[in-house]
Amino acid sequence: MPMTRLPPALCAAALAIATLTAPPSAAQAARAPHAADTDAAACIRHLARNHTYKDGSNTYTTDGAGRPAQALSTELARKAAPRSDCESTVGNWGGSGDWQGGHLLASSFSGVSKRYNLVPMRGRQINQGLMLRVENGARACLGSKGGAVADYRVQVHYPDAVTLVPDRIHVSMAATISGVSRQVTVTFPNATLSARELDSWHTKIANAFRAAHCMTASDKA
């Protein structure tokens, strides 16, 4: 039986249907938003108590008062997350002076700008100072030969059951360089520091990452 040719109009319609029903390509899937994987949360002072929020593989835990207590990335990766106005809202809860809404898990490590990942931090000295140095140390680990960082955990301590401002920040991680895993642990205050205290903390953080063989650009120079 001879093959019947479809009219041009029907061919165009069939092509349009095939295009609409075809599965997305790998590139399209990679660009697709994953909002459904991120737990929603209002930017309010107290969240659900003793609750674990999730954003992909990252988890965020609140304490008994509904304040952010811990952020955990089981496998750290350099991947930027969107920012939000919640950062400035949380920063304002610190009161007068140099306060910012600081991420427990950095936005450059896919940390979301949601309340469960934000606490008031001293701005230049802590959020953009000591915390940034720790994050840069983790980046140095990732950038080292055979580098990987697992169980990147940030915990905050509050001096009482009422305040929204933590007084200490504890960061720990397992840094693997060339097949050898070493633990990096740093605890520092969330407070205004003297120049001498700040310099001392800079040295302590640098030494912690050097001991893990995570080399920074200045170390290599």
**129 vs 122, 134, 218, CA distance in Å?**
9, 9, 17
pLDDT value, residue 9:
53
| Total residue length of the chain | 221
Instruction: Give the global pTM.
Output: 0.82
Residue 40 included in any domain = no
pLDDT value, residue 221:
37
Number of domains in the chain: 1
> How confident is residue 145, by pLDDT bands cut at 50, 70 and 90?
confident
Report how far residue 153's alpha carbon sits from residue 122's, in angstroms, rounded to the nearest whole number: 20
pLDDT value, residue 31:
40
Residue 210 included in any domain = yes
Do 133 and 205 contact (CB within 8 A), yes or no? yes
Q: Output the domain CATH number for residue 131.
A: 3.40.570.10
pLDDT value, residue 193:
98
Residue 31 included in any domain = no
Residue 12 included in any domain = no
Q: Mean pLDDT, to the nearest integer, of 130-145?
A: 96
Residue 96 included in any domain = yes
What stretches of the chain adopt beta strand conformation (E)?
Answer: 52-55, 58-62, 68-75, 99-103, 118-122, 148-157, 168-177, 180-189
pLDDT of 6 higher than 80: no
pLDDT tens digits along 182-219 = 999 999 999 999 999 999 999 999 999 999 999 764 45
Domain around 165: 55-220
Do 91 and 101 contact (CB within 8 A), yes or no? yes
Q: State percent of the chain over pLDDT 70.
A: 81
pLDDT tens digits along 61-97 = 999 999 999 999 999 999 999 999 999 999 999 999 9
Residue 144 included in any domain = yes
Residue 121 included in any domain = yes
